[in-house]
């Protein structure tokens, strides 16, 4: 499946850069995700429901995988790494198996919370191989050996490559369309969890391309070794160069003031719950029925709620709460149509 069509419509990315139709893409989504105003939480708060992007698992990881899995063949071996409760490894396992690929994920220990524990259990049940290592280095060493196998395809942690960022760029341009259609006013800022920085990079690049002044606020949920704004800026620039090579025209870059990382909600360890984030998540659940996870979205929402006091703010919901109620893995090993 190629990138041009999505239930009969042309992707925002392809409308702007038609030559990108040549980039392989597997269709996981049925259409643009909705934006909801949440005045019962705060008058200045909107929510981009990327949690419902795909079935059975939405969120930002599925956005990236539409492009990262675009040329995967039946019987290929997909190799990736992530933490014990990583939604990235669960998404690779879920959609890789659906495409008929074998999936090997190397994982490392983290501070666990109930959602992370459930994601870890689901990953172990879906992936063909999901060994656990004491260290990040151990997981990468194992993955390096597995990716040398015949037919193996490497998927970077978090899908943080220019190809994966194309999915987030398209998501940002989708939001630009919704703003232009009057679904919401131009937000002063978009707030999103910040791990590898791929989502922030794609959104900031989209806003630069569209000339939108919205600032991307990445709420750091990982250690400073990983969660650096410089990495996201580099990803945005590398993705722009990828597009330029295919489109043969200049692509705007995000300015230095168009994206920043908020560090105060981290809590000291990946996966560690914080009281402020838990209170914010409970407020959202009670007001509009949306459930958040303690690792990523609750911390980002805490910051979004604080920033809404200062003007129109969009919270980008990347976590699919359906995982909280999952009882069995979805594994039909069929390519999406």
Rounded CA separation 176/12 (Å): 9
Q: Quote the pLDDT of residue 272.
A: 97
Residue carrying structure tokens 């669960």? 90
Q: Does domain 5-59+160-323 have CATH number 3.40.50.1100?
A: yes
Query: Bridge partners of 79?
Result: 104, 154
Main-chain phi, psi angles of 181, to 5 degrees: -85, 0
Number of Cα atoms under 13 Å in the Cβ half of residue 290: 28
Task: For the chain, report the end-to-end CA distance as a whole number of angstroms.
Answer: 8
Residue carrying structure tokens 């659940």? 285
Q: What is the pLDDT of residues 107-133, one digit of tens each?
A: 999 999 999 999 999 999 999 999 999
Q: Quote the pLDDT of residue 30.
A: 79
Pairing of the two strands 5-6 and 9-10 = antiparallel
3-state SS assignment for residue 316: strand
Q: Are 331 and 97 in contact (CB under 8 A)?
A: yes
Chain center to CA of 34: 16
Greatest Cα pair distance in the chain: 55
The angle, 0 to 180 degrees and rounded to 10, between the axes of the packed helices 297-307 and 275-288 is 80
Q: What is the CATH number of domain 70-154?
A: 3.40.50.1100
Q: Quote the pLDDT of residue 326.
A: 67
| CATH 3.40.50.1100 in the chain, residue ranges | 5-59+160-323, 70-154
Q: What pTM was estimated for this model as a whole? A: 0.94
Q: Are 78 and 90 in contact (CB under 8 A)?
A: no
Rounded CA separation 238/59 (Å): 23
Regions of the chain short of the pLDDT cut 70: 1-8, 326-337
3-state SS assignment for residue 132: strand
């Amino acid at each position: 499946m190629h990138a041009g069509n999505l239930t009969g419509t042309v992707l925002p990315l392809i409308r702007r850069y038609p030559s990108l139709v040549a980039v392989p893409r597997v269709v996981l989504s049925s259409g643009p995700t909705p934006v909801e105003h949440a005045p019962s939480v705060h008058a200045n708060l909107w929510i981009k429901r990327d949690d419902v992007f795909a079935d059975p698992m939405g969120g930002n990881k599925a956005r990236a995988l539409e492009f990262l899995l675009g040329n995967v063949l039946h019987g290929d071996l997909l190799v990736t790494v992530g933490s014990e409760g990583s939604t990235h490894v669960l998404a690779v396992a879920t959609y890789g198996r659906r495409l008929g690929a074998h999936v090997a994920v190397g994982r490392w220990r983290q501070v666990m919370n109930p959602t992370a524990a459930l994601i870890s259990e689901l990953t172990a049940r879906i992936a063909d191989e999901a060994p656990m290592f004491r260290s990040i280095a151990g997981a990468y060493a194992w993955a390096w050996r597995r990716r040398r196998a015949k037919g193996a395809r490497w998927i970077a942690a978090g899908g943080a490559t220019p190809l994966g960022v194309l999915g987030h760029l398209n998501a940002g341009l989708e939001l630009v369309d919704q703003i232009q259609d009057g679904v919401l006013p131009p937000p002063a800022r978009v707030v999103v969890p910040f791990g590898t920085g791929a989502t922030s990079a794609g959104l900031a690049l989209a806003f630069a391309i569209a000339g939108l002044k919205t600032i991307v606020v990445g709420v750091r949920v990982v250690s400073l070794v990983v969660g650096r704004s410089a990495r996201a800026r580099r990803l945005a620039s590398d993705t722009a160069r990828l597009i330029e090579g295919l489109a043969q025209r200049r692509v705007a870059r995000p300015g230095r003031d168009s994206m920043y990382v908020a560090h105060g909600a981290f809590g000291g360890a990946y996966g560690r719950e914080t009281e402020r984030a838990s209170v914010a998540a409970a407020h959202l659940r009670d007001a509009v029925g949306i459930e958040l996870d303690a690792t990523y979205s609750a911390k980002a929402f805490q910051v979004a709620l604080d920033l809404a006091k200062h003007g129109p703010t969009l919270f980008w919901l990347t976590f699919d709460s359906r995982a909280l109620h999952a009882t069995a893995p979805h594994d039909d090993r069929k390519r999406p149509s």
